[in-house]
Structure 1
Amino acid sequence: MPPLNLDMLDDDPKQAEKAAEKFGEKPYDGPMNAIYNVPVDVQVVLGRTSMLVAQLLKLGRGAVLELERKVDEPVEVLVNHRLVARGEVVIVEDHRLGVTLTEIVRTELEID
């Protein structure tokens, strides 16, 4: 399946159906259809670091921030700030970055 083009998504309530049709998939139908149209925030975390404000203010062009993650460690995929998967960074068409999922993180369902 080709990578998802986030530029094509907009506030149109039928966007899930349009996206499904574009990739030759059957659009979702039935009582769960409203759930599939709920937007979520997806983030890929390459790494983290901590520093003092004074150190942050000294940063300039060309500064390198050392992250708490090694090169061969998987990146984290967060959905609405919750860890859902881990993966590897890959280069896709037009020299863009993507993530190949290597592990789905299973957690207990919490209802707030």
Structure 2
Amino acid sequence: MEENFGSGRGLESLLRVPVTLQVVLGSANLPVAQLMKLGRGAIVPLDHRVGEPVDVVVNGRIIARGEVVVVDEDSSRFGVSLTEIVGAAGGEVPR
């Protein structure tokens, strides 16, 4: 018998499937020689600028974009406020 995902039990099973969510602030391309020289305190410039949206990625696919926000009153944790949901044609994140 085929299980209908519209039914309560099938949908509940699907909703428990774990996914990996990442927030990508930016990326950089470095030669291995430059990578080997990095040490504590080194700064790696990214391809995104301050104020630009960050990518929200689930299992390697961009699903949304948003802004980095502070979520705790003591400013010790960050979160993302979603500003755009990417459609089904959203691109995969280069690896």
1:40 is matched with which residue?
Answer: 19
Shift >2 Å, 4+ stretches: none
2:39 matched to 1:60?
yes
Q: Following the alignment from structure 2 to structure 1, what is the Cα–Cα distance between the partners of residues 10 and 48?
A: 42
- How much has 1:30 moved relative to structure 2? 3.3
Structure 1 unaligned segments of length 5 or more: list them.
1-28
Matching residue of 1:101: 82
Q: Higher mean Cα deviation, 75-84 or 89-98?
A: 89-98
Q: Which has the higher contact order (CA 8 A, sep 6+)?
A: 2
- Shift of residue 92 of structure 1? 1.0
Query: Secondary structure of 1:95's match?
Result: coil
Tell me which residue corresponds to 1:89: 68
In 2, distance between residues paired with 1:31 and 1:68? 42
**Residue deviations 1:44-80, cap 9 Å, x none?**
0000000000000001111100000111110000000
Q: Normalising by structure 2, what TM-score? A: 0.80
Q: Scaled by the length of structure 1, what TM-score is found?
A: 0.68
1:22-62 deviation per Cα after TM superposition (whole angstroms, max 9, x unaligned): xxxxxxx4331110000000000000000000000001111
Distance 1:51 1:103 in 2: 30
Show structure 2 runs of 5+ residues with no match. 1-7, 90-95
Task: Considering fraction of residues, name the structure with more helix.
Answer: 1
Give me the whole-angstrom Cα distance separating, in 2, the residues matched to 1:92 and 1:63.
27
